[in-house]
Structure 1
Amino acid sequence: MRNRCILHSDANCFYASVEMLLNPELRGKAVAVCGSTEERHGIVLAKSELAKKAGVKTGQANWEARQACPGLIVVPPHYDQYCKFSRLLRNIYLRYTNLVEPYGMDECWLDVTGSTQLYGSGEQIAEEIRQTVKDELGITVSIGVSFNKIFAKLGSDMKKPDAVTVLDDSNWRERIWPIPVSELLYVGRSTTRKLMERCVYTIGDLAKTDPAYLTSWFGKNGMGLWIFANGEDGSRVMPDGYEAPIKSVGHGITCSCDLYKNEEVWKVMLELTQDIGHRLREYHLCAKGVKLYIRENELDGMMHQMQLPYPSQSPMEIAQAGRVLLEKWYHWQKPVRAVCVTAINLVPEERPVQLDMFGDENARMKRQKLENCVDEIRSRFGKRSIYAASLMGDLHMPGDGRHEVTMPGMMYT
């Protein structure tokens, strides 16, 4: 796989860059795009280079960002514009290859292996894309060039903004192995902590660790991390428009302020599962299990899952399973900032189900008809045309539409 030429293009300070295009008076100033700009508990979604240099960080509360940068200009997000510029970026990439795989709104992988005879080396293509984006869209990108997706992404992070970094057989070990292991894709906070407890501090340390040890620590994911660290990633860049088979249906959100009680989290889960139930009906699928992810206000997370007694499309049944997981596993040592509910172990809705002779199947069928009717009304007249009384009032969910933006892309192998 070393003969491939993979690019990873990352738009610099994407949200903030778009805001400065929409309002040229913001150029050259410290700008942060924040949710709930009228509330001190809103968080920073993106920041400009000047704001970053002043110490503003993504995920900070608005008031913390203003403390770090007293002259900070805070603006609300405009997701419709971010989606528009994301499409324009992909249209530029598609001039060079149809193998363009999004990873979030502002990042894409490109496989230009078959394009090098037409457009030159990977570095030349990357430079041409970098300049074209700057000239046509007025924003900048940083591009990593390498022989696999993992290293290409590392390369795009090495030099910012508006730069191209090449990692090939001649230099990748000396440049990548000294990097902290936390920078490797899919090495999150929990995995980093476990690795550092075992004296694995850099990507080079990870590469030199016995795969058997990594497998004993992390299961099959440990072997995957070893492969990534040693440059053996063989995952493909999927073609533009590729839709992966649906394996789960999830919905999550970062709340506009911290949550302190089960009841507050329950309302958020119930609101999120309205959309999950609707999408399951659209896909003609039912969930056999539910997964709950809770993130504390200091960004540590908890994830657990459980099986449902019956395959279900019911928002209420999915939310109730989430509540069971919450009450069983979350001990409220810290308040909650983000909630994500996912329907897992999906099966076709027409698959026969073994009934429970002690269950009330008639009651379940009545609820299903009611929820189908509610879903139809919401589809025709809007999501707030009909909803549970318990969802009235402030749910501490931002109203700026961020949770309705489809964020494309995970890696496919």
Structure 2
Amino acid sequence: MSRTILHSDMNCFYASVEMLHHPELAGKPMAVGGDPEARHGIVLTANYIAKRVGVKTGMALWQARQVCPEIIFVPPRMDLYLRFSRMAQEIYSEYTDQREPFGIDESWLDVTASTSIKGDGMKIAKEISSRIKYELGVTVSIGVSWNKIFAKLGSDYKKPDAITEFSKDNYKDIAWKLPVGDLLMVGRSTERTMKKLGICTIGDLAGAEPSILETYLGKMGLVLHTFANGWDETPVSVEGYKAPIKSIGNSTTTPRDLVSELDVKIILMALSESVGARLRENGFQCRTVEISIRDTGLYHFTRQCKLDRASNLTEEIARTAFELFQKNYNWEHPIRSLGVRGCDLVSEEMPLMLEYK
């Protein structure tokens, strides 16, 4: 039985969410990222107005300003983006429990079991697109196909606010004509190697001799050959408990140098409360606590400790952070900066494994 796979990608996600909260920026070039006052940091995402004049993700803020002097920078608010990501997942969950996040703003959905009730892939994609736009106020581009690779290719094919289907009837006419670099997992280095072999399009890759690909690209060459031919059978993961981001943290440079364990304990408690509150607000728990320390001698280090069980409780995070500090700092200098981070995040809905003795 042929599968029906969707790949949903929220367009210019961070920028789109910020535009909802800054209606005064409508029609103006805008980017999310860094600290514009300090003139450091990079562009995390830009709206389409900024992108059209050459602003790109990963570009330094000063470079973006050179490309687009009128650009307006907005500092990132990850908690806000996580909230929208979670609301999108709630919509997706009404169509399937086979949902595999690909970052905070993208997801694969296997809706095969829903087609008998809700219609074919295109109909489901149109319904999801409409609901995201109406309920969240942002747009998505959705790819529809029988495998994950072509579904992802479809969501990238047209942006913004578009739906593209790569079916077994049309993929050779459309997908195979696209640049080979558009295929998932083909990076710049791999693309350069392929071009030396005369492989410029996805169709060229599909028709290439597998033994030659393996010679120049190793086992990955065979994997990419499979992808290009539409033979990918990788399943979409069933809804799990892994969080779409890896960590939530907070740090501070103190107004005065810290010179005692009591000073440190007070600051770590305040930072842990901030981290715990953000974890709870976003429905996450951390399985690892990390601290970062910088002293007045500019010595800097981080240390981690794995928790016995995942937690988002302030007291547990603070206690672990302070124990890490006591074990790893020898007070050669007063402390200038402290940070606490919850890492290895999971959903707070993850079942708790109990031990019986």
- Structure 1 residue 197 displacement after superposition: 2.3
Q: CA separation in 1, counterparts of 2:202 and 2:237?
A: 26
Partner of 1:13: 12
Cα RMSD of the aligned pairs, angstroms, is: 3.3
Q: CA separation in 2, counterparts of 1:383 and 1:125?
A: 50
Verify the 8 A CA contact 2:145 2:166 in the aligned structure 1: yes
Partner of 1:98: 97
Q: CA separation in 1, counterparts of 2:161 and 2:207?
A: 33
Verify the 8 A CA contact 2:44 2:57 in the aligned structure 1: yes
- Structure 1 residue 187 displacement after superposition: 1.0
* Structure 1 residue 219 corresponds to structure 2 residue 160: no
What are the ranges of 5 or more consecutive residues in structure 1 without an aligned counterpart? 245-249, 252-266, 285-374, 409-413
Verify the 8 A CA contact 2:39 2:61 in the aligned structure 1: yes
- Structure 1 residue 393 displacement after superposition: 6.3
Partner of 1:176: 175
Q: CA separation in 2, counterparts of 1:207 and 1:391?
A: 61
Aligned length: 287
Partner of 1:261: none
Partner of 1:65: 64
Query: Alignment partner of 2:104: what SS?
Result: coil
- Structure 1 residue 391 displacement after superposition: 11
Query: Alignment partner of 2:177: what SS?
Result: coil
Specify whether residues 28 and 190 from structure 1 end up closer, same or farther in structure 2 by C-alpha distance, changes over 3 A only. Answer: same
Verify the 8 A CA contact 1:176 1:203 in the aligned structure 2: yes
Partner of 1:89: 88
What's the CA shift string for 1:356-399, capped at 9, x where partnerless? xxxxxxxxxxxxxxxxxxx986625598898657996689xxx9
Query: Alignment partner of 1:199: what SS?
Result: coil
Specify whether residues 237 and 31 from structure 1 end up closer, same or farther in structure 2 by C-alpha distance, changes over 3 A only. Answer: same
| Equivalent residues in 2 for 1:366-381, closer than 5 Å | 379-381=320-322
Verify the 8 A CA contact 2:242 2:346 in the aligned structure 1: no
Q: CA separation in 2, counterparts of 1:391 and 1:215?
A: 56
What are the ranges of 5 or more consecutive residues in structure 2 without an aligned counterpart? 248-298, 311-315, 348-357
Query: Alignment partner of 1:379: what SS?
Result: helix
* Structure 1 residue 46 corresponds to structure 2 residue 45: yes
Specify whether residues 185 and 163 from structure 1 end up closer, same or farther in structure 2 by C-alpha distance, changes over 3 A only. Answer: same
- Structure 1 residue 53 displacement after superposition: 0.8
Q: Deviation above 4 Å: which 4+ runs of structure 1?
A: 281-284, 375-378, 380-395, 403-408
Question: Normalising by the residue count of structure 1, what TM-score does the alignment of the two structures yield?
Answer: 0.63
- Structure 1 residue 113 displacement after superposition: 0.6
Verify the 8 A CA contact 1:97 1:115 in the aligned structure 2: yes
Q: CA separation in 1, counterparts of 2:72 and 2:323?
A: 34
What's the CA shift string for 1:202-232, capped at 9, x where partnerless? 1111111111111122222111111001000
| Equivalent residues in 2 for 1:101-112, closer than 5 Å | 101-112=100-111
* Structure 1 residue 206 corresponds to structure 2 residue 205: yes
Partner of 1:351: none
Verify the 8 A CA contact 1:104 1:407 in the aligned structure 2: no
Specify whether residues 387 and 49 from structure 1 end up closer, same or farther in structure 2 by C-alpha distance, changes over 3 A only. Answer: farther
Q: Which amino acid aligns with 1:137?
A: L
Partner of 2:254: none
Q: CA separation in 2, counterparts of 1:169 and 1:236?
A: 18
Q: CA separation in 2, counterparts of 1:135 and 1:17?
A: 14
Partner of 2:233: 234
Q: Which amino acid aligns with 2:149?
A: I
Q: CA separation in 2, counterparts of 1:171 and 1:197?
A: 28
Partner of 1:28: 27
| Equivalent residues in 2 for 1:223-372, closer than 5 Å | 223-241=222-240, 270-271=301-302, 274-275=303-304, 278-279=305-306
Q: CA separation in 1, counterparts of 2:320 and 2:21?
A: 32
